[in-house]
A = this chain, B = another copy of it.
Amino acid sequence: MTHMRRAPARRQPVTFQALTHLEVNTSGRGFFEITAEVAAFLAEAGAATGTLTAFCRHTSASLTIQENADPDVRADLITALETLAPTGFGWVHDLEGPDDMPAHVRTMLTDVTVTIPVEDGRLGLGAWQGLYLIEHRTKPHRREIRLIFTGTGVE
């Protein structure tokens, strides 16, 4: 038996949604944290409680929620993605360069979209969680992320 404990359900009306577009200019392969920008959007929109969805409009860059403390973690995650989808694997699709097809595989293995609960105006992330855009291409790219909040607003 797994021991579980569940808090009483809290009910609220759903009143509005708020949207924005976020542009991120990456400096090439790596992790780029966007947590603060998402929090700023929630504050600007007057979001109180509900859900926040982030969506990455690309197939060679993606999203993930990962540890925001030790940078070695992100270095190891890059190593893991390189191992799981090696650059020199012999992919058929290589018209856009040797880093393109591995970027598609790494996008498939991570997230294009994430939905995060929001409570009292704050993202419901855990203490060690940050929201990251992962740039899978070697060179810098301009990436577009759409954000949408659905729920209740601040009074």
Contacts and interface: CB of A to CB of B under 8 A. Distances in A.
A21 B7 contact: yes
A128 to B, nearest CB: 5
A11 B2 contact: no
Contacts of A6: 20-23, 37, 40-41
Interface string A103-131: 01101111111111101000011111100
A64 interface: yes
Contacts of A152: 17
Interface of A: 2-27, 32-34, 37, 40-41, 44-46, 49-51, 53, 55, 57-59, 64-67, 70, 72-73, 75-77, 79-80, 84-85, 91-93, 95, 101, 104-105, 107-117, 119, 124-129, 144, 146-148, 150-153
